Amino acid sequence: MAKPSHIFIVGSFRTGTSLLRYMIDSSAEVGICNETKFVCGGFFRRGTRYRLTKVGDPSTDSGARKIVDFIYADKMPQAFRQVTRNVSKEEFLQHFLESDRSDRALFDLTMRFYANGKPIYGEKSPAHIYKVPLLLEWFPNAKVVHTLRDPRAIFVSQRRQWLREKMDSGHYRILRKTEITLMISVFLQVLLNWLRIARLHRQYQKRYPNNYYFVRFEDLVSDPEPTLKKVCEFLEINFSEDMLSQPVVGSSFVPRKSETQGVDTSTVDRWRNHLHPVIDKSFVFWCKKYLLEFGYQ
């Protein structure tokens, strides 16, 4: 079989998408761009491409230039800065002008220039789990890897992140007034998102058996080598030991500037010591069918 043209890593937030991206991106064959949120920004939010429609009309040369100028003015998600470091604005613009100037072409150029010569390129945006049909319509030979995690672990991780990183936002200050308002808000966000994604998983598994692959965060962390080898086999890329030597990224339990290296196996069960019994029972009540289906206690 031919190797995939693109690789997309998707899933819920706090499920190890960043860890998997670092692992795959370390391959000499693949360049995986960080979150562009190009086709979807979240549960209800539009993607980055919607912002670009307000900038200029790509069908005209002047509109295409405005769009590229906007990208190079650092007004886009941080992932685009990784791209602009690899290619000059003039070269990016020239390639865009020579394309069909569609959203697909702009997204493809972004990933290609990030990959910087690697033959397979792709992107990691958790929210793109909602747009897998569009991604595979644009790139029929692409492959999608979906990471999933126990929703109770996501709840604990997301709650800690909100407490640590979003203290200055007016919205989050209101939520943090009391422990109960914070817990309810995070619980509803995680619950609704997780249930929707669980249903989408079933649809994608049936609809895209050759293009869609599912991996549990818990398996990737507790048994990384065989789990990652299976992912690489699905992606038709070579596995290397270097893939396992990645920094701990995005963990709500590890300080941002920590030099911790390697897979943190303690993340599998650590959340159990930080979960309120009422929240635990609530997740079990609403998610029991899917928890059992995905092998969670």
Q: Which residue has the higher pLDDT, 250 or 31?
A: 31
Q: Is the pLDDT of residue 1 over 80?
A: no
Q: Is the dihedral of CA 164, 169, 175, 176 positive or negative?
A: positive
| Residue 46 one-letter amino acid | R
pTM (2 d.p.): 0.92
DSSP state of 86: T
- For 44-63, write each residue's pLDDT tens digit: 788 999 999 899 999 999 99
**CATH code assigned to 6-29+119-293:** 3.40.50.300
- Please classify residue 145 by burial: count the beta carbons closer than 10 Å to its beta carbon, then call 0-12 exposed, 13-18 middle and 19+ buried: buried
Annotate 261-279 with three-state secondary structure: ECCCHHHHCHHHHHCCHHH
DSSP state of 156: H
- Please classify residue 244 by burial: count the beta carbons closer than 10 Å to its beta carbon, then call 0-12 exposed, 13-18 middle and 19+ buried: middle
- For 221-280, write each residue's pLDDT tens digit: 999 999 999 999 999 999 999 999 876 555 555 555 555 566 778 788 999 999 999 999
d(CA 272, CA 252): 14
- Domain positions in the chain are 6-29+119-293
- For 75-133, write each residue's pLDDT tens digit: 788 889 888 999 999 999 999 999 999 999 999 999 999 999 999 999 999 999 999 99
Average per-residue pLDDT for the chain: 90
C-beta separation of 121 from 32 below 8 A:
yes
